[in-house]
Chains A and B, each alone.
Chain A
């Protein structure tokens, strides 16, 4: 490590206190803070400025660094999440190592929440502590790393497809991994899309074809990510390809195999509303364009029990000896687009626990509306195939219900319920639809207008209120609710009930996040590095997210996010070299006894131990958990060392 600051002549710290107009100076006596700072040991210069982040303000800092030969700078201003980068860049331009500059947050955590002399007193304490930190900081140089130019996209729904296409169009190789036999994801299941009522498959399948034909994209369907090691720019992934037992290049989609297959199981693509054979293609436009033999439901492969499908396959595409394959790849960036599931109906005790056949969820209704669905687009209810004359749509089913279900708004349900009601009315002209809602959230281009169309339909009745109970009565479904606008109890003998179930992260999201060493929020959605300013990135550098895996969102948002994530990924793939923060953990090898207590603390696998511990400084994300766990003091976090923090604590509490 480079020579510590203070240098041989002792520290020369400059303190720059920002007025931020009245934002800070309105409550904190900025001049007094600067005066107090000027009296601190090691501080050789302290001043104020109206707007320190302005060009003249930055110039002031730069000039002082040069003229006062500062060895450290504290800028007392807004939160470091605002201008830390700004000021560190300025410091660098003035010849001071950027890691010798720190921000003292006297706005968000002081002037905006306190008043009177106490606010000034606290600001002084904050500055005093930060001066101590800066005095202990070391100049650091970001770590440079080489990298792979291939991108891994996990999940082949619309977000994954879009991200793959954008990265590939930028000229980089893409591996698109999808765990089901085809790409297309949820969007392929949808009937029509709001607010334009475009046929979902019609607009999706061209993109699927683009992806399958793209010379830079390699689609690994029926595959799952097994293991991810490595770090930014240098991830090593192991992908498990499940055997499809059908050679995709040979399969001509004649479908004879499925006809002779004696097995019938619920068809996932139709949400179980129809059946499929053990050898099947999810839908005709599937990509890769091939049948898949689902070994779990086949009568038996080892030993071969049935073998009927191979007998009728003229293309000789069926290969019962196909083996699982492990694909190992090095990738520079990873985009996670694993999508969503619906919160299970079975969790809705108040709505029949999923046991009433004519209480279905939104995706099931999509399949009933879809021309490629089990009823060929005719709305017929599951129990007896009759056309439902009265349909109740229940919004926020499982959403916005922190006591029993999910606390969040699933965002798309207001829109797709309006779409469902409209499409139902197109389908069943004399039908009647009821929509129970809490609020209508139709923020989006042309969304409000779309919902209004549904509301203006005189056979669609919007009822503001919650449904308390749904249960079966003979061949009807009873819906007990309340209309909060009139205060009346509502009782509807419906033929069909459609629950706008909450969106939840797709099954396996958490496991995948663990493999990637990225975080999930409390509801299991992938967690972004910053909710406002870094919404596409995981905290682990080089991993991005797109689509509903990150949170409920609709198609245009998912696509936009996918393109954004692709741009971020391309930023890495196309970089000459990558850099990583140097403020990482490091081991004093003269003190480390190799006790190995640190290694299991690291969520990133950055620590290996032989005689002594070693930190892979590119894997390390600087949390410092290992440092606190290290009993001997051999592990430290650069620029957040024990001695520094102890001095900060003392300075924060000191009197006078």
Chain B
């Protein structure tokens, strides 16, 4: 990545119909934005599990973007509404354990909003640069292994 400054790592879960198509349009329109996010396509933002978001943080992400359709615009009618509530509750719990809720960003981007997608990316990267690395990923281990039963 560029410069000496901190470059956040981002996972972007993009729904195929709106945000993903919007990202494609940003490409077709050659609207450049920082390359920090790796996109993962899902059919609907409603498929995104809170567990994936936490997994991304544990795997080194500094931010997670979930891109869905605008309210009223969801290809699956109401999937994005469920996502909004799930992320809202997840953010509350993350805040309780010291993860800034802004690190999880839910954005509505339509298939025609390539410019908006690029802007969201630029903004998110800027915000994460300001926030700095995710503290829990900076900690030293001496921590317990994943629990469970040893077979």
Contacts and interface: CB of A to CB of B under 8 A. Distances in A.
B135 interface: no
Nearest to A513: B77
Interface in B1-55: 1-2, 9, 11, 16-17, 21, 23-28, 30-35, 38-44, 46-49, 51-52, 55
Given A122-B35, A520-B72, A625 B47 contact: yes
Interface stretch (B78-86, B97-105, B142-150): B78-86
A108 B40 contact: no
A351 to B, nearest CB: 27
B48 to A, nearest CB: 7
A642 interface: yes
A623 B111 contact: no
A461 B60 CA distance: 65
Contacts, number: 150
Contacts of A623: 43-44, 46-47, 75-76, 79
Contact of A107 (B27, B39, B56, B112): B27
A113 B32 contact: yes
A514 B47 CA distance: 21
A622 interface: yes
Contact of B27 (A112, A115, A118, A539): A112
Contacts of B32: 113-115
Contacts of A621: 76
B128 interface: no
B62 to A, nearest CB: 10
Contacts of B132: none
B129 interface: no
A519 B74 CA distance: 7
Interface in A620-656: 621-625, 627-629, 637, 640, 642, 645-646, 648-650, 652-655
Given A625-B46, A625-B79, A653-B9, A80 B41 contact: yes
B42 A640 contact: yes
A622 B38 contact: no
A645 B40 contact: yes
Contacts of B48: 628
B109 interface: no
Given A79-B24, A519-B73, A118 B35 contact: yes
Interface string B96-139: 00000000000000011000001000000000000000000000
A518 B75 CA distance: 8
Given A81-B24, A108-B24, A112-B30, A624 B77 contact: no
Interface in B62-94: 70-79, 82, 86
B33 to A, nearest CB: 6
B72 to A, nearest CB: 5
A622 B43 contact: yes
Contacts of B73: 519, 521-522, 527
A640 B17 CA distance: 16
Nearest to A119: B35
A interface, how many residues as a size bin?
A: 35 or more
A522 B25 CA distance: 19
A642 B47 contact: no
A650 B52 CA distance: 10
A107 B17 CA distance: 18
A125 B43 contact: no
Contacts of B51: 642, 646
B40 A648 contact: yes
A110 interface: yes
B75 A539 contact: yes
Given A113-B31, A118-B35, A624 B111 contact: no
Given A522-B70, A645-B40, A603 B78 contact: yes
A518 B27 CA distance: 29
Summarize B's interface: helix, strand, loop or mixed.
Answer: loop
Contact of A653 (B11, B23, B75): B11
A105 interface: yes
B82 A628 contact: yes
A517 interface: yes
B40 A129 contact: yes
Contacts of B70: 522
Nearest to A514: B77
Contact of B42 (A81, A522, A624): A624
A625 B42 contact: no
Contacts of B49: 627-628, 642, 645
Contact of B82 (A121, A517, A601, A642): A601
B24 A105 contact: yes
A640 B47 CA distance: 9
B46 A624 contact: yes
Given A129-B40, A517-B77, A629-B82, A113 B47 contact: no
A129 B41 CA distance: 11
A622 B44 CA distance: 8
A336 B23 CA distance: 30
Contacts of A529: 75
Nearest to B111: A531
Contacts of A574: none
Contact of B38 (A108, A601, A627, A653): A653
A543 B130 CA distance: 48
B20 to A, nearest CB: 8
B33 A113 contact: yes
Given A79-B24, A603-B76, A649-B59, A109 B39 contact: yes
A527 B69 CA distance: 12
A379 B112 CA distance: 43
A105 B40 contact: no
A43 interface: no
A126 interface: yes
Most buried by B among A115, A529, A621: A621
Interface string A67-109: 0000000000001110000000000000000000000010111
A606 to B, nearest CB: 11
A521 B111 CA distance: 11
Interface centre among B11, B56, B76, B77 (most CB of A within 10 A): B77
Most-contacted residue by chain A among B26, B31, B34, B59 (CB, 10 A): B59
A112 B55 CA distance: 29
A521 B24 contact: no
Contacts of A109: 23-24, 27, 39
B40 A649 contact: yes
A649 to B, nearest CB: 5
Nearest to B7: A118
Nearest to B33: A113
26 contacts: A79-B27, A108-B26, A108-B27, A109-B23, A109-B27, A112-B27, A114-B35, A121-B35, A126-B39, A514-B77, A522-B70, A527-B73, A623-B75, A624-B47, A625-B76, A625-B79, A625-B82, A627-B49, A628-B48, A628-B49, A640-B43, A645-B40, A645-B49, A649-B55, A650-B59, A654-B59
Given A113-B33, A628-B86, A653-B56, 11 more contacts: A79-B27, A81-B24, A113-B30, A116-B2, A119-B35, A125-B38, A522-B72, A601-B82, A625-B79, A625-B82, A649-B55
Interface of B: 1-2, 9, 11, 16-17, 21, 23-28, 30-35, 38-44, 46-49, 51-52, 55-56, 59-61, 70-79, 82, 86, 111-112, 118
Complex A-B, nearest 9 residue pairs according to Cβ-Cβ distance, in ascending order: A108-B27, A624-B47, A625-B46, A623-B76, A623-B44, A652-B38, A603-B77, A112-B27, A108-B24
